[in-house]
Amino acid sequence: MYLLFIDNFAYSLYDIANKIFMEVLIMNLKKIFTLLCIVLIFISSSVFATNVSNNVVVDNTGNIPVETSEESNTTDTSLAAETIYQDLYIYNTDSYSLNDIVYGNVFASTNKFVTNPINNGGTIYGNLYLISGEAIIQSDVVYSNNQDKNGNYIVNTINSYSAINGNVFVLADSFTLQAGSQINGDLYVAADVVNIEQDTVISGNLFVTGSQVTLNGQVSGSAYVTTDTFNMRYFSYITQDLYLNCNNANLSGVVYRNAFVTAYDKLLTESDFRVTQNLSVNFAKDFTFSGEVQGNATFNAKSLNFKNDNSENCIIRGNLTYAVKDGIQIPDGIVFGELTEGKYVEKTNNKYSIGNLAFSLFTLLVYVFAIVFLSKTFAKNAISKLANLDIKNTLISLAIGFISVFAIFLLFMLLIFTGIGVALSLFFIMGYLLIITLAIPLFLHDIANIIKLNLNIYLKLLIVTIVFYLISLIPVLGPSVVFILVFIGTGRILFTLFNRKK
């Protein structure tokens, strides 16, 4: 229940932010997705994980995956599904096939992970947390002899399919959601290759980042996609919104609300692509449009073409606001509403916009001032005891901060693999994340304190924070400085905790 509230609250904030700051957020979607994925993994683990003493642990003596034929409905009694009423932990195995029904969460780390739905197995009633080289949510289907326009065979019969009734979190080299499979929650994927096949169902939202993403199934929520190449196929439909940031995209299927697209190279919408509300192309280097937009459209493209012949559907039923670098004549019969020509804005992956810079600086200032104010209000004595910013203490803090990253990782792995407890390991992780959260604001506050200017401390903090932000924008040097200061700030807090006197 708590996780459901957190998820819904996060999605609401995310939707509002996208509508207000779409241009800014679409440039940073990959970072936002990665952070969100990690945070939700920690939160979901701590909420839903049961006591370790009641868990099932599978190591290198566990199951070995069995390949199933896509056109066979033959059952194997040796793989009869068992019912597990605890959380399932899988590690120290090269490959694993989940043939069981699990009424709990599944935590897996393996080179290859497969769910096997034959004999009614491959079902998870909790969440799936997976780190794997190759991950497959498997099904058993029969294909017809008919092919779609992309040359893919169309599913004729679904014999059996895997189902995950919670959320799915995946870090992998490749991830495949096979035809007919179901995820009755949200899907978070960070993988090089992601393939979501025909007739799949994702009942929640889709968050995905990778190099090559193919979507050919149903998403009942919204889809947030950051990738190099995105292919949205004929059988795709997204019930809510599509937020896409990519280099190249080929779009078919249906988006039942709005679509927001940024493509830094080529964008092609097919004649069967349909958006029932509004389509906003924030930027495309080479944009070829066909299909149907039932609401309004906004196009900002370096090159814009329309497929407008007898064989193509090319309709915008609302208004069109367009901006093209070299200008264009919009063909007759495409736009039913009003035509408005705007100012073309060039965008690249590496280019900072004024809005982006201003919003990022504002966010940083709010974050720093909030942490400093709360710390001085509720923990004034504690922050006054932080190590002085002299050369010796700074070097010690840097070393402690650097070592702490490896130490917390080793501690986390030790607690997990020795079976001591997920809850305890998450306690240490969340505590360490809290320290990192405090590190930079408290460090900047102490820098402001030692500046010999006859100014209010918060005014000095404002100046120091702006200088820190400008330094962070410097290529190569900026990120290096930020990492070093994070290590120093983290080390100062840990150094003070370990050396405090009664």
Q: What is the pLDDT of residue 245?
A: 92
Q: What is the pLDDT of residue 425?
A: 67
Q: Which residues pair with 58 in a beta bridge?
A: 90
Task: Find all residues with CB under 8 Å of 463, minimum gap 6, and list them.
Answer: 448, 455
Distance from CA of residue 80 to its chain's centroid?
A: 35
Q: Residue 129: which of 45, 4, 6, 36 has the closest Cα?
A: 45
∠ CA 214-264-206, nearest 5°, is 35
Q: At what angle are helices 457-472 and 477-498 packed, to 10 degrees?
A: 130
Q: pLDDT by residue (tens digit) across 149-164? A: 667 777 777 788 899 9
The pTM (predicted TM-score) of the whole model is 0.63
**Which pair of structure tokens corresponds to residue 456?**
């209010």
Size (the chain), residues: 502
Q: Which residues pair with 114 in a beta bridge?
A: 97, 136
Identify the segments of the chain with pLDDT beneath 70: 1-80, 149-150, 308-312, 348-356, 387, 415-426, 475-476, 500-502
Residue with tokens 């606001």: 321
Q: Which residues pair with 419 in a beta bridge?
A: none
Q: What is the pLDDT of residue 277?
A: 96
Distance from CA of residue 194 to its chain's centroid?
A: 13
Q: What are the Cα distances from residue 116, in Å, to 47, 122, 137?
A: 27, 5, 8
Alpha helices in 249-353 (DSSP H): none
The CA distance from 469 to 416, in Å, is 38
For residue 331, with 0-12 CB atoms within 10 Å meaning exposed, 13-18 middle and 19 or more buried, which class applies? exposed
